[in-house]
């Protein structure tokens, strides 16, 4: 029987990889320009890192974690997100002892045991950026500015920044209680999940997509009316710093973000590029996460971008596949050896050159050159070679000229369009 990939796990094929590499390279370039450094964290962690960090009463921990017991009986989990691991690494390696401020990013696969459906995968990819150790609202704005700059850099358009504040551990419980009381009066309208959330995590009801739940929350109290003075001041400054940077935003009082650990600033970026509204990415501040996992009181803020979604929004007209620059068609034994020598020489110079390994007819070699979408074909015939010459054909305008083989490298460098 033919062995296939597991459901929800995908191959990223060579004809798609250009987009992924483009997005990853752009992220590195933009983030490092903002003073961020890459961190690579393990794919597997102890389960309690996520259950404590993300929160027991979240969808992720309740039903989406890829958890298993290893041969020694430890409960391990494939990372469902990167923030908790990055925070763990920051504490474990005492990165703060060098400088309390750490700006880190991470690119890689995450795992969630979700019901496989269109656009949902069990292995999916995220780009994460986090700043640890700063409570100042200036850094909230900085992180958002970097995010928007990155999204524009990869070519996304019609973006809308939405922000909200979620309060802190002092003022949010009051809101949570008000919300619970309000929703309890509408509990007959709530879906099964939300009935349960009413007891465990009423804030999560605010982003339930079920229509009757949406109706139930229409007049729900807003967190902004319950936050304390400190949180209000923090939020006002975030807004002021965004305005100073010329970024426009929309206040979205219903945005709560999925995870328990968020506090104060929350943000999402939506794209209207495909007509309808598509959430591209989101993030926020989490000033309690570190205490949950390690005891130190370290503030943090960051975002995660789902790469599959982002890649589906890339400009359609941009070319991401790197075709060979040159195909060498050789006629005869002598020419074939010369083609081999030239191809190897050109590869060392960064010119993507291909030849035919089967030494077929000129016609079939030209057909392959066409299929590979090369810019030029060098035709090596025995007669011309004796004069040190070969024919170079431009595959776009079909113009063909005779060139000196000794000048091949310079000739190509002056003609090839490098990507």
Residue 168 Cβ, how far from Zn ion at the closest point, in Å?
Answer: 3
* Closer residue to Zn ion (CB): 228 or 308: 228
CA distances from 155 to 23, 146, 159, 312 (A): 10, 14, 11, 12
The secondary structure element, H or E, covering residue 35 is none
Sign of CA dihedral 42, 44, 46, 51: positive
* Closer residue to Zn ion (CB): 62 or 228: 228
Residue 62 Cβ, how far from Zn ion at the closest point, in Å?
Answer: 14
* Closer residue to Zn ion (CB): 174 or 415: 174
User: Which DSSP category does 290 fall into?
Assistant: H
* Closer residue to Zn ion (CB): 231 or 270: 231
Q: Determine the Cα–Cα distance for residues 375 and 367; give it in Å rounded to an integer.
A: 13
Q: Determine the Cα–Cα distance for residues 292 and 55; give it in Å rounded to an integer.
A: 9
* Cα of 275 vs its chain's centroid, Å: 22
* Closer residue to Zn ion (CB): 145 or 194: 194
Residue 167 Cβ, how far from Zn ion at the closest point, in Å?
Answer: 5
Residue 227 Cβ, how far from Zn ion at the closest point, in Å?
Answer: 5
* Closer residue to Zn ion (CB): 191 or 385: 191
Residues at the contact surface with Zn ion, assessed by CB under 5 A: 167-168, 170-171, 191, 194, 208, 210, 213, 228, 231
Considering only CA atoms, which of 43, 207, 204, 228 is closest in space to residue 123? 43
Is 285 in contact with 263 (CB distance < 8 Å)?
yes
User: Which DSSP category does 26 fall into?
Assistant: H
Q: List 44's β-bridge partners, or say none.
A: 78
Residue 214 Cβ, how far from Zn ion at the closest point, in Å?
Answer: 8
* Closer residue to Zn ion (CB): 170 or 333: 170
Considering only CA atoms, which of 188, 170, 164, 87 is closest in space to residue 130? 87
Residue 194 Cβ, how far from Zn ion at the closest point, in Å?
Answer: 3
Considering only CA atoms, which of 85, 99, 101 is closest in space to residue 44? 85
Residue 264 Cβ, how far from Zn ion at the closest point, in Å?
Answer: 7
């Amino acid at each position: 029987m033919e062995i296939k990939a597991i459901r929800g796990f995908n191959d990223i094929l060579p004809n798609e990889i250009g987009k992924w590499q483009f997005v990853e390279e752009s992220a590195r370039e933009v983030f490092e320009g903002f003073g961020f450094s890459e961190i690579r964290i393990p794919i597997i962690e102890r389960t309690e890192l996520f259950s404590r960090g993300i929160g027991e009463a979240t969808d992720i921990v309740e039903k989406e974690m890829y958890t298993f017991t290893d041969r020694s009986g430890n409960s391990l989990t494939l990372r469902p997100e990167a923030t908790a691991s990055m925070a763990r690494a920051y504490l474990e390696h005492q990165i703060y002892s060098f400088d309390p401020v750490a700006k880190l990013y991470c690119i890689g696969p995450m795992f969630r045991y979700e019901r496989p459906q269109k656009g949902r995968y069990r292995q999916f990819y995220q780009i994460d950026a986090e700043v640890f150790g700063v409570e100042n609202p200036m850094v909230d704005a900085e992180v958002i500015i970097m995010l928007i700059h990155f999204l524009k850099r990869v070519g996304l358009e019609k973006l809308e920044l939405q922000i909200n504040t979620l309060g802190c551990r002092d003022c949010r419980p009051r809101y949570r209680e008000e919300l619970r009381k309000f929703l309890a009066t509408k509990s007959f309208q709530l879906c099964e999940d939300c009935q349960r959330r009413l007891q465990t995590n009423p804030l999560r009801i605010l982003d339930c997509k079920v229509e009757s739940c949406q109706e139930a929350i229409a007049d729900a109290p807003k967190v902004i009316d319950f936050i304390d003075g400190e949180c209000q001041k923090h939020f006002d400054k975030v807004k002021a710093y965004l305005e100073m940077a010329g970024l426009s935003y929309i206040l979205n009082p219903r945005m709560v973000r999925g995870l328990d650990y968020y506090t104060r600033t929350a943000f999402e970026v939506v794209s209207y590029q495909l007509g309808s509204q598509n959430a591209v990415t989101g993030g926020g501040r989490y000033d309690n996460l570190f205490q949950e996992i390690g005891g130190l009181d370290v503030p943090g803020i960051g975002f995660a971008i789902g790469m599959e979604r982002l890649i589906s929004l890339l400009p359609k007209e941009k070319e991401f596949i790197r075709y060979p620059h040159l195909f060498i068609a050789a006629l005869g034994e002598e020419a074939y050896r010369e083609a081999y020598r030239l191809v190897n020489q050109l590869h060392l110079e960064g010119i993507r050159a291909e030849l035919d390994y089967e030494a077929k007819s000129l016609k079939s070699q030209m057909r392959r050159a066409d299929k590979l979408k090369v810019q030029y074909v060098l035709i090596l015939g025995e007669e011309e070679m004796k004069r040190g010459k070969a024919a170079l054909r431009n595959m776009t305008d079909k113009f063909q000229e005779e060139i000196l083989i000794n000048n091949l490298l310079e000739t190509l460098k002056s003609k090839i369009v490098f990507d």
